[in-house]
Amino acid sequence: MKAVLIVCDGLGDRPTRALRGLTPLQAARADTLNRIASEGECGIMDVIAPGQPPGSDTAHLALFGYDPYACYPGRGAFEALGVGVELQPGDVAFRCNFGTVNDDGIVIDRRAGRISSEEARQLAEALKDIRIESVSGVQVIFHHSSEHRGVLVLRGEGLSRCVSDVDTHKAGVKPAVPQPLDDSPEAERTAKALREFLEKAGKILAEHPLNLERVKRGLLPANILLPRGAGTLPKIEPITRIWGIRAAAIAGGGLYKGVARAVGFDLIQVPGANGTVNTNLRGKVEAAIRALDSYDLVFLHVKATDNVSHDKNPVKKVEVIEWISRELTPLVEKVTSEEYYLAITGDHTTPSEVGEHRGDPVPIAIMGPDVRRDDVKRFDEISCARGSLCRIRGTDLMRILMNYLGRVPLFGE
Amino acid sequence: MKAVLIVCDGLGDRPTRALRGLTPLQAARADTLNRIASEGECGIMDVIAPGQPPGSDTAHLALFGYDPYACYPGRGAFEALGVGVELQPGDVAFRCNFGTVNDDGIVIDRRAGRISSEEARQLAEALKDIRIESVSGVQVIFHHSSEHRGVLVLRGEGLSRCVSDVDTHKAGVKPAVPQPLDDSPEAERTAKALREFLEKAGKILAEHPLNLERVKRGLLPANILLPRGAGTLPKIEPITRIWGIRAAAIAGGGLYKGVARAVGFDLIQVPGANGTVNTNLRGKVEAAIRALDSYDLVFLHVKATDNVSHDKNPVKKVEVIEWISRELTPLVEKVTSEEYYLAITGDHTTPSEVGEHRGDPVPIAIMGPDVRRDDVKRFDEISCARGSLCRIRGTDLMRILMNYLGRVPLFGE
């Protein structure tokens, strides 16, 4: 017995003026999503807790069955894993922006004029030889990811993720000086190493020919790095070991790949899967269908619903939902013909009038041979609340799926 | 104000092919069960947690209001209490099978050719004089229960339930040598005492005239004991003291009597109540009606639904449900006329196509003067999910009932 878990990022929404008081899911003609609801058991789900807006990282930890309050290790590690860094226990990883500071050290752009991937990759190359001298035994790994984004990893004995962010998320102020967030010598060492790295990186970037050339062309130079979100590998048992399954993940966005890798999924790379509304969704769905031949659990992540929500575009969200619904059809056919299980849900609610994550529950539907089919006919936030799953927590979902797969050991006799 | 809690073991089920996609509860004509649902408030319940298959022992601890993750003391103690052993704090109790080994010490039958109760009782008698010499201050109590089953209790200072099972649940292999499961001297002492007991018991059984006679008649001798499920009394406050109530339990199966005794219920013995489909259910219901005159809470356990589920017989499960529904009628009449409360539910789902416990929620209905009557008209897994109780946890049930009885003290002011 096998299962597919489809997560449409930021899928949950609220009654929306532009849709005459309907949610995007209510407004959409989404035949395949509604088919899953009709043939399945439906409910609503608090991914973290009622009213609690989840981050995408904590949300996915919960959906994979891990209590994020107990094991959330900061975002940096997921970013690093997502861009392919072979992270080791003890490594401290940071998300980084290339940014621009003026002569007074004030950040004037957190994205260095939205510098291209091509140029940022060249700059990243120049940072690879930085050696840390003020703290012994610390190695630097820097990896460009996309556009103005990169990942910094500090590797060595005795480091800690308890260091403050450099990126203040604001322009017009100086970047923050990284500080230890607890009294441990590890946090002190890490903050010190990070400060040295930033100083050396700043010098290299300021003098880099590519930046000098940008200034000549009237573009903002990428002359500073802004690390944030220090993180380490979570101390968890892999999902494959907990349940005795083979598990594969298909995602475009680096973060989702990173969380999936961190908990033990194999990554299936799909060309053109890029975490945007222009992703190769057809290719991802085809990959998911193929993956079911060799994996017990296939996780399929679609980011586009969240992108249009952050853009505050409910009408576009309706279109994206209808597109996802159409593209999922062959996967639903496959699952039906094989008598597998399929669950579809969101990782959080991103109301398209708000443009930010909110803590409203998300709809969920599970189809498969043994589910308690209810009379819910539509996959939306309000219809699903009347279904036979009632209201569940995100951390319960994986156990519910594994119960259908017969993978949960008895507790007691 | 008083309440009855009726637990039909393994009552929850799944859509079942033999019943054209209905669950046994959906397929049954169960007028009295449906009356409870119609007049009551309904819901579904995760006895332990969503997706978690409960054992019968942990499930009943939860239903009685105790967190099994915090206080589950192993099954052995419940078995011992269930067969009437006056267990003391510190005693370590084991479930035991009489089994058969060949000359090479290989288990060839875990039930000694399904030896009769009569014969097993005689063999048990011969084990009573065993003295433990390798460990000081350990006393042996052995008690036959039914057929090939017995209970072994080791009594003395400094014992532990952290010892491994002897019974491997398999034939064709040697029984396991009991080992300490932690580094404590108590576990070491217990494992040592158990090994000595097994050696002495094996000799007595091998030479016992009854076994020699069985061999002559071509029957398997009961020449070994296979203990498992070491357990102690749970460290809990009795249910009677927590809520200030008088509580009585009526059950056929030894385990259920044992859990009920362990948490402080008085046991009401009913002749012919035997935990099978041939139980004296009418007598149990009559006993429950009488018990309401002198107790505040009456727990009535019916095992038959689980037996037919483990036999993978959904059609028979429908019959059993209809029979239970009919037999409960006078109890429901009594509760109605007295304006008492009555809750009916299962301790876990045993899908009759699977034949094992699963973690799907169970239906629950509570009737009584102050419940929030909803529009659910049928007592089944899917109808109840739309009821006014929504989805609750097993450990919440007792507090919900005691709230109706006005027995839950205010928290705060």
Q: What is the DSSP string of A12-41?
A: B---BGGGTTB-HHHHS--HHHHHHHHHSE
Same domain, A191 and A303: no
Q: In chain A, what residues touch B389 (CB-CB under 8 Å)?
A: none
Closest by alpha carbon to B199, among B166, B172, B164, B231? B166
Q: What is the dihedral of CA B120, B126, B127, B131, to 10 degrees?
A: 180
* Total count of domains within chain A: 2
Same domain, A223 and A244: no
Nearest CA in chain B to A376: B386
A163 neighbors A181 (Cβ within 8 angstroms): yes
Report the 10 Å Cβ neighbour count for B34: 20
Q: In chain B, what residues touch A374 (CB-CB under 8 Å)?
A: 382, 385-386
Q: How far is CA B13 from CA B24, B99, B327, in A?
A: 7, 33, 21
Q: How far is CA A302 from the centre of its chain?
A: 10
Q: What are the phi and psi torsion angles at B120 (to 5°)?
A: -60, -35
Same domain, B250 and B395: yes
> Is B391 an 8 Å CB contact of chain A?
yes
CA dist., res. B205 & res. B142, Å (int): 14
Question: B288: distance to nearest CA of chain A, Å?
Answer: 27
> Is B71 an 8 Å CB contact of chain A?
no
- Which residue in this structure is represented by tokens 């491997």? B168
Question: A315: distance to nearest CA of chain B, Å?
Answer: 32
pLDDT digits (tens, 9 = 90+) for B351-392: 999 999 999 999 999 999 999 999 999 999 999 999 999 999
A36 neighbors A365 (Cβ within 8 angstroms): yes
In the chain, the amino acid numbered B312 is K
A197 neighbors A136 (Cβ within 8 angstroms): no
> Is A394 an 8 Å CB contact of chain B?
no
**3-state SS track over A167-221:** CCCCCCCCCCCCCECCCCHHHHHHHHHHHHHHHHHHHHHHHCHHHHHHHHCCCCC
Same domain, A254 and A186: no
Same domain, A250 and A376: yes
Question: B399: distance to nearest CA of chain A, Å?
Answer: 20
pLDDT digits (tens, 9 = 90+) for A153-181: 999 999 999 999 999 999 999 999 999 99
**3-state SS track over chain B:** CCEEEEEECCEECCCEHHHCCECHHHHCCCHHHHHHHHHCEEEEEECCCCCCCECHHHHHHHHCCCCHHHHCCCCHHHHHHHCCCCCCCCCEEEEEEEEEECCCCCEEECCCCCCCHHHHHHHHHHCCCCCCCCCCCCEEEEEECCCCEEEEEEECCCCCCCECCCCCCCCCCCCCCCCECCCCHHHHHHHHHHHHHHHHHHHHHHHCHHHHHHHHCCCCCCCEEEEEEEECCCCCCCHHHHHCCCEEEECCCHHHHHHHHHCCCEECCCCCCCCCCCCCHHHHHHHHHHHCCCCCEEEEEECHHHHHHHCCCHHHHHHHHHHHHHHHHHHHHHHHHHCCEEEEEECCECCCCCCCCECCCEEEEEECCCCCCCCCCCCCCCCHHHCCCEEEEHHHHHHHHHHHCCCCCCCCC
Closest by alpha carbon to A315, among A274, A352, A288, A271? A352
DSSP state of A385: G
Same domain, B149 and B240: no
Taking an 8 Å cut-off on Cβ atoms, the answer to whether B391 and A396 are in contact is: no
Q: Is the pLDDT of residue A198 over 90?
A: yes
Taking an 8 Å cut-off on Cβ atoms, the answer to whether A413 and B358 are in contact is: no
pLDDT digits (tens, 9 = 90+) for A353-387: 999 999 999 999 999 999 999 999 999 999 999 99
Residue A294 zone, left/alpha/beta (φ > 0; ψ -120 to 50; rest): alpha
In the chain, the amino acid numbered B114 is R
Same domain, A91 and A200: yes
DSSP state of A378: S
Same domain, B264 and B220: no
Question: B162: distance to nearest CA of chain A, Å?
Answer: 15
In the chain, the amino acid numbered B248 is A
Domain presence at residue A410:
no
Report the 10 Å Cβ neighbour count for A405: 18
In the chain, the amino acid numbered B269 is Q
- Decide which of A207, A231, A255 is a domain's last residue: A231
Strand ranges across the sheet with A390-393: A266-267, A247-250, A297-302, A3-8, A341-346, A362-367, A41-46, A390-393
Q: By 3-state DSSP, what share of chain A in percent is helix, strand and coil, each rounded to 5?
A: 35, 20, 45
Range of the domain at B92: 80-231
DSSP-assigned beta bridge partners for residue A225: A98
Tokens of B88: 């003391």
B230 neighbors B162 (Cβ within 8 angstroms): yes
Tokens of A234: 């979570």
| Secondary structure class of A399 (helix, strand, coil) | helix
Domain presence at residue A412:
no
Residue A103 makes CB contacts below 8 A (sequence gap 6+) with none
| Secondary structure class of A80 (helix, strand, coil) | helix
**CATH code of the domain covering residue B259:** 3.40.720.10
Q: How far is CA A264 from the centre of its chain?
A: 15
Pairing of strands B3-8, B341-346: parallel
To test the contact with chain B by mutation, choose from A371, A372, A407 the residue with the greatest count of B C-beta atoms within 10 A, namely: A372
Residue A61: per-residue pLDDT: 98
A202, exposed or middle or buried, with CB in 10 Å at 0-12, 13-18, 19+?
middle
Pairing of strands B3-8, B297-302: parallel
Residue B275: per-residue pLDDT: 86
Domain presence at residue B409:
no
| Secondary structure class of A342 (helix, strand, coil) | strand
Long-range contacts for B15-23 (Cβ within 8 Å, ≥24 apart)? B15/A369, B15/A370, B15/A371, B15/A372, B15/A373, B16/B314, B16/B351, B16/B352, B16/B353, B17/B353, B18/B314, B18/B315, B18/B353, B19/B314, B19/B315, B19/B318, B23/A372, B23/B380, B23/B381, B23/B382
Q: Is the pLDDT of residue B346 over 90?
A: yes
Residue A275: pLDDT band by 50, 70, 90 thresholds?
Answer: confident
With a pLDDT cut of 90, the percent of chain A lying above it is 96
CA dist., res. B292 & res. B298, Å (int): 7
Domain presence at residue B324:
yes
Taking an 8 Å cut-off on Cβ atoms, the answer to whether A408 and B229 are in contact is: no
- Minimal Cβ distance to A372: which of B51, B75, B382: B382
Q: Is the pLDDT of residue B276 over 90?
A: no
pLDDT digits (tens, 9 = 90+) for B137-179: 999 999 998 889 999 999 999 999 999 999 999 999 999 999 9
- Minimal Cβ distance to A373: which of B15, B59, B359: B15
Taking an 8 Å cut-off on Cβ atoms, the answer to whether B382 and A373 are in contact is: yes
pLDDT digits (tens, 9 = 90+) for B213-258: 999 999 999 999 999 999 999 999 999 999 999 999 999 999 999 9
Residue A132: pLDDT band by 50, 70, 90 thresholds?
Answer: very high
Residue B36: per-residue pLDDT: 98
Q: In chain B, what residues touch A373 (CB-CB under 8 Å)?
A: 15, 382
Taking an 8 Å cut-off on Cβ atoms, the answer to whether A410 and B381 are in contact is: no
Question: A196: distance to nearest CA of chain B, Å?
Answer: 48
Q: What is the dihedral of CA B34, B37, B43, B48, to 10 degrees?
A: -70
Residue A12 zone, left/alpha/beta (φ > 0; ψ -120 to 50; rest): beta
Q: Is the pLDDT of residue A146 over 90?
A: no
Closest by alpha carbon to A161, among A139, A186, A144? A186
- Minimal Cβ distance to A390: which of B351, B357, B391: B391
Partner A, chain B 296-355, Cβ-Cβ below 8 Å: 351, 354
- Minimal Cβ distance to A396: which of B14, B50, B229: B50
> Is A373 an 8 Å CB contact of chain B?
yes
Q: In chain A, what residues touch B382 (CB-CB under 8 Å)?
A: 372-374, 388
Residue A77: per-residue pLDDT: 94
Taking an 8 Å cut-off on Cβ atoms, the answer to whether A392 and B390 are in contact is: no
Of A314 and A83, more confident: A314
Nearest CA in chain A to B348: A410
Nearest CA in chain B to A409: B53
A68 neighbors A124 (Cβ within 8 angstroms): no
CA dist., res. B168 & res. A321, Å (int): 53
Taking an 8 Å cut-off on Cβ atoms, the answer to whether A372 and B391 are in contact is: no
Q: What is the mean pLDDT of residues A105-132?
A: 94
Residue B274: per-residue pLDDT: 87
Q: Is the pLDDT of residue A122 over 90?
A: yes
- Which residue in this structure is represented by tokens 């959080």? A348
Q: What is the mean pLDDT of residues A313-336?
A: 98
Same domain, B21 and B157: no
- Minimal Cβ distance to B49: which of A387, A399, A406: A399
Residue A276: per-residue pLDDT: 86
H or E element that contains A107? strand A107-109
Residue A115: per-residue pLDDT: 94
Residue A192: pLDDT band by 50, 70, 90 thresholds?
Answer: very high
Domain presence at residue B261:
yes
- Decide which of B196, B231, B266 is a domain's last residue: B231
CA dist., res. A220 & res. A210, Å (int): 11
> Is B67 an 8 Å CB contact of chain A?
no
The dihedral built from the CA positions of residue B248, B249, B250 and B252, taken in this order, carries a sign that is negative
> Is A385 an 8 Å CB contact of chain B?
no
Same domain, B41 and B61: yes
Domain presence at residue A409:
no
Closest by alpha carbon to B255, among B45, B74, B13, B52? B74
- Decide which of A199, A231, A263 is a domain's last residue: A231
* Distance between first and last Cα of chain A: 24
Question: Exposure string (b/e) for B62-86, b if CB count within 10 Å is 16 or more?
Answer: bbbbbebeeebbbbbbbbbbbbbbe
- Minimal Cβ distance to B54: which of A372, A406, A411: A411
> Is A406 an 8 Å CB contact of chain B?
yes
Domain presence at residue B378:
yes
Mean pLDDT of chain B: 96
Q: How far is CA B399 from the centre of its chain?
A: 21
Residue A307: per-residue pLDDT: 94
Q: What is the mean pLDDT of residues B51-55?
A: 98
With a pLDDT cut of 70, the percent of chain A lying above it is 100
Same domain, A110 and A218: yes
Question: A148: distance to nearest CA of chain B, Å?
Answer: 43
Domain presence at residue B139:
yes
Pairing of strands A297-302, A247-250: parallel
Pairing of strands B92-101, B107-109: antiparallel
Same domain, B285 and B143: no
CA dist., res. A79 & res. A254, Å (int): 6
Give the E-state strand segments of A260-373 in sequence order.
266-267, 297-302, 341-346, 362-367
Q: What is the mean pLDDT of residues A340-351?
A: 98
Partner A, chain B 258-297, Cβ-Cβ below 8 Å: none
Report the 10 Å Cβ neighbour count for B188: 18
> Is B51 an 8 Å CB contact of chain A?
yes
